[in-house]
Amino acid sequence: MADDLRRFVYRTTFSREEFARRRGAVMDAIGGDGVAIVPGAPSAGDLALFRQDNDFFYLCGVEVAGAHLLLDTKTGTSTVYLPPRDEGEERSEGPRLHADDADAACAWTGVERVAPLASLVDDIPTGGALYVPRAEASRAHVDEFIWSRAEWPQWFARQLSEHTGIDELEDLTPTLRELRMVKSAEEIDVMRFAGRLTALAATEGMRSTAPGVMEYQLGAVADYIYRVNGARGGGYPAIIGGGTNAWFGHYWRNNDELRDGDMLLLDYAPDYEQYTSDIGRMWPVNGTYSPAQRELYGFIVEYHKTLLSLIGPGELAAEIMDRAAETMGAVIDSTAWSQPHYEAAARGALTFRGHLSHTVGLDVHDSGNYWPEPLKPGTVFSVDPMIWIPEERLYVRVEDTIAITEDGIENFTALAPLELDDVEACMREPGMIQAYPPERGGR
- In whole angstroms, how far apart are CA 75 and each of 27, 93, 262, 372? 10, 37, 62, 35
Question: Could you report the per-residue pLDDT of 211-250, keeping only the tens digit for each?
Answer: 999 999 999 999 999 999 999 999 999 999 999 999 998 8
**Domain harbouring 108, CATH code:** 3.40.350.10
246 shares a domain with 145: no
Residue 106 has pLDDT above 90, yes or no: no
In tens, the pLDDT along 20-39 reads: 999 999 999 998 888 999 99
Among 181, 199, 216, the domain boundary falls at: 181
Q: CATH number for the domain including 221?
A: 3.90.230.10
Residues 140 and 191 in one domain: no
Q: What is the pLDDT of residue 170?
A: 87
pTM for the whole thing? 0.93
Span 37-93, pLDDT tens digits: 999 988 877 777 888 999 999 999 998 888 999 999 989 999 999 988 878 777 877
Same domain, 235 and 164: no
Looking at 182-290, list the stretches that DSSP marks H as alpha helix, in order from N- to C-terminal side.
185-208, 215-228
The parent domain of residue 375 ranges over 185-442
Q: Does residue 162 surpass a pLDDT of 80?
A: no
Q: Are residues 196 and 53 in the same domain?
A: no
Q: Would you say residue 262 has pLDDT above 50?
A: yes
pLDDT band at 3 (very low <50, low <70, confident <90, very high): low
Cα-trace Rg, the chain: 24
- Average pLDDT score over residue span 155-178: 74
Q: Give alpha helix (H) positions in 279-376.
A: 291-310, 317-334, 340-349
Q: Residue 300: pLDDT above 90?
A: yes
Give how many domains the chain has, as a whole number.
2
Query: Same structural domain for residues 212 and 176?
Result: no
Whether 154 and 247 share a structural domain? no
Q: What is the mean pLDDT of the chain?
A: 90
Same domain, 151 and 197: no
Q: Tens of pLDDT along 371-410? A: 999 999 999 999 999 999 999 999 999 999 999 999 999 9
Residues 168 and 198 in one domain: no
- The CA distances from residue 368 to 9, 19, 78, 236, 373, in Å, are 29, 19, 25, 19, 11
**Contact criterion met (CB below 8 Å) for 23 and 60:** yes
- Rounded to the nearest 5°, which phi and psi values hold at 71? -115, 120
Question: Are 153 and 261 members of one domain?
Answer: no
Q: Which class for 226: exposed (0-12), middle (13-18), buried (19 or more C-beta within 10 A)?
A: buried
What kind and span of H or E run contains 175? helix 173-181
Give which of 61, 79, 59 is closest to 70, Cα–Cα: 79
98 shares a domain with 152: yes
Of 181, 216, 249, the residue that ends a domain is: 181
Which has more pLDDT, 197 or 159? 197
Q: Are residues 431 and 284 in the same domain?
A: yes
The DSSP output letter for 388 is: E
What pLDDT, on the 0 to 100 scale, is given for residue 442? 54
- Do 140 and 261 belong to one domain? no
Q: How far is CA 267 from CA 76, 249, 273, 364, in A?
A: 43, 10, 19, 11
End residue of a domain, out of 158, 181, 204: 181
Q: What is the pLDDT of residue 42?
A: 85
